[in-house]
Structure 1
Amino acid sequence: MTERIGDSTMGAVSAWQPILDGFDENVGGEKGIVRLDEEHPNGARITLEEGGVSAPWSVTCGVYGLMVHTAFFGSETDARKAVFVMKARLAAIMDAMGSDRIYDLVERFVADF
């Protein structure tokens, strides 16, 4: 998770936009309270939940039509740090769509988180 993202990190992260009312009663897929739910215009989503059934904090993310992944964390600090890095890594995956390296990027993402 300490991979250097490069100079495009802020641009990759700033493109994400909040999703309003994305979950009934603000309860996410892990049955926790949704604290962050954002979508990238190129086709990805990331959701941060507190108090789900599997862990104190969880991050579920994916690239539409390609992958979905959930990672679990013991603290809000760790989960929010992961969200920041995951956003940049998901943007890199979207940038690689159609290339030979897409599956390597997805495999590394899942292994890292």
Structure 2
Amino acid sequence: MKLIIVAFALVAAAVALPVENVPREIKTLRSVFEQTPVGGYLLSFETENGISRQEEGELKEVFDEEKKPHSVVTVRGSYSFPDLDGKPIVVNYYADESGYHPEGDSIPKATSRR
């Protein structure tokens, strides 16, 4: 019986939540994706809440430790979104065989230790 009362109380509390707490769908204002014939791509999008991204990928041949060739996709782009105060946070990045490399005012800079 106690379990039924607790379950009923939880359902009643959930139903009593204000409607504005329900997330709404964010519309995409612009979206582009193009694939190039040689294995690269271009993509970009922008949403109504201030989120955007632009990226370009390119096929590149690299050599491993044994001097064997491998194809990798190198990527260069940026994304932005508003912070809690509405100011845009912008991150520029590139990614290649050496890893992901982001840059921006919101990303802490590495300090050298002596």
Q: Structure 2-normalised TM-score?
A: 0.29
| Larger RCO (CA within 8 A; separation ≥ 6) | 1
Structure (1 or 2) with the greater helix fraction: 1
Q: Structure 1-normalised TM-score?
A: 0.29
Structure (1 or 2) with the greater strand fraction: 2
The structure with the larger Rg is: 2
